[in-house]
Amino acid sequence: MKNHPFGRSCLVLALFAASGAIAQTTTSGPVQVSGPTETGAEDAAEWMKRLAIDANSPAAKRYAEQQKARLAAEKSLRKIRAKHFGTIKNVQIRQEGIVQLREFTEPSLFSSMIRLFEREGADVRTALLDHFQDSGTPEGEAALAWMGVFDKDVELRNDATKRVKKLVADHGGVPNPVKYVVFEGLRSQDTDVVTSAARLGAGIDMMDSIPWMIARLITGQPIQTPQTQSIGIGSRDPDSALAWIMVGTQTAFVSDLTPVVGPSAVAFDPQLSVVNEGVILRVLDAVVVTYHVDIYNVLTDFTSRMYGQSTRGLGWNVPAWRQWYAKDFLPEMARRAEEQKAADAAKNTETK
């Protein structure tokens, strides 16, 4: 999977189906894989060795077969990309390639398709969105949400977001794969990704994303210097400082006078020193604090709409936001749910 984040993320459903089978192996007790076995467990993947998974178990063998099949499928996808896409402008040739892409219906290949065609034109990538949407699988839901949050093309993100909204409307709620992607996006260090995740969460009325947005309103990180890296914040060498500012006056005076004697002559060699008087400001530690304005705007608009009252008065006070969410928002949502439940029950009684 190289370094593509969709392939690395274990939160997005674990798109390779072998994960569930391998988990079954661990429930019966770990089996050491060190030492020679029938097929050579010393060749097992490093993560298998760390989890003490038997490389010769049926689940591990199925996983190896799936990996082999995935590599073969990726090879075919690369051939399609080289033959039909890239710099090729002929519409018919490109459409033939898009039709061939639709034949790859194995959900475990969706992450590979995102990675392999991430630099293609809008026609190809829009076709991928249609393919994921038509698959009707949890992996397809995760792939759509992933492109709506992590893709660098704004128009494609918006297109993927529209499909996710339709998906949520059809489900009558937010599917777990979409929730996992939004959570992963809000954990990102990329400001654009965090903002996209917040907008997607608000756009599909995902109330679970509210505490995650609150946690990302303000972030801070200490400035690292050689002293802080070696001895740690709080244990700094008292003679070191990140910076200093002095406001004062300096007065020079003669602190020592050395006579110099020569034939028929005498002289003096004065040594000057300086007296400092004033105030010095030393900066020993510093923290860079980031206020995420886009997340704040999304959060206040979303919560005000859901709660029915403006939440802008909470400002940047993160503890106040958390207290409001626990003591005001959640009880209010629970009360509304009970009222809706009672109304539905009364309506069903009248119908009968």
Tokens of 68: 């082999």
**pLDDT over 70 for what percent of the chain?**
80
Residues 6 or more apart whose Cβ sits within 8 Å of residue 119:
none
- Provide the pLDDT for residue 287: 81
pLDDT tens digits for 274-329?
A: 888 899 888 877 788 889 999 999 999 999 999 999 999 999 999 999 999 999 99
Q: Rounded mean pLDDT of the chain?
A: 81
Mean pLDDT over 169-180 rounds to: 90
**Whether pLDDT at 270 is above 60:** yes
What are the angstrom distances between the C-alpha of 53 and each of 16, 25, 61, 75, 208?
17, 7, 11, 29, 35
Give the span between the Cα atoms of 323 and 332, in whole angstroms.
13
The DSSP secondary structure of 304-322, one letter per residue, reads: HHHHSS--GGGTT-HHHHH
pLDDT of residue 340: 86
Is 65 a residue whose pLDDT tops 90?
Answer: no
CA distances from 267 to 50, 87, 95, 110 (A): 82, 87, 99, 91
Token pair of 86 as six digits = 């890239």
Residue with the bigger pLDDT between 340 and 146: it is 146
pLDDT for position 45: 66
Helix axes 176-186, 154-171, angle to 10 degrees: 140
Domain ranges of the chain: 5-206, 226-287, 292-351
Q: What is the model's pLDDT at position 36?
A: 35
Per residue in 225-260, pLDDT (tens digit) is 554 444 444 445 556 777 888 899 989 988 888 888
Q: Which of 127-136, 143-152, 213-222 has the lowest mean pLDDT?
A: 213-222
User: Taking residues 119-139, what's their average pLDDT?
Assistant: 92
Which whole number is the average pLDDT over 169-196? Answer: 91
Q: Which residue has the higher pLDDT, 265 or 175?
A: 175
**Does residue 210 surpass a pLDDT of 90?**
yes
Answer with the residue of higher pLDDT: 230 or 43: 43
pTM reported for the whole predicted model: 0.69
User: Tell me, what's the pLDDT at 178?
Assistant: 93
Q: Using one digit for the tens of pLDDT, what is the confidence trace for 9-31?
A: 433 443 333 333 333 333 333 33
The b-or-e profile of 23-44 (16+ CB within 10 A means b, else e) is eebeeeeebebeeeeeeebeeb
Which ranges constitute the DSSP H helices of the chain?
A: 5-8, 18-27, 46-50, 58-84, 91-101, 110-116, 122-135, 138-150, 154-171, 176-186, 191-203, 209-215, 226-231, 293-307, 318-324, 330-351
CA torsion through residues 142, 143, 144, 150, sign: positive
**Percent of all residues in the chain with a pLDDT value above 90, rounded to a whole number:** 50
Q: 122-136, 138-152, 228-242, 253-267: which range is least confident on average?
A: 228-242
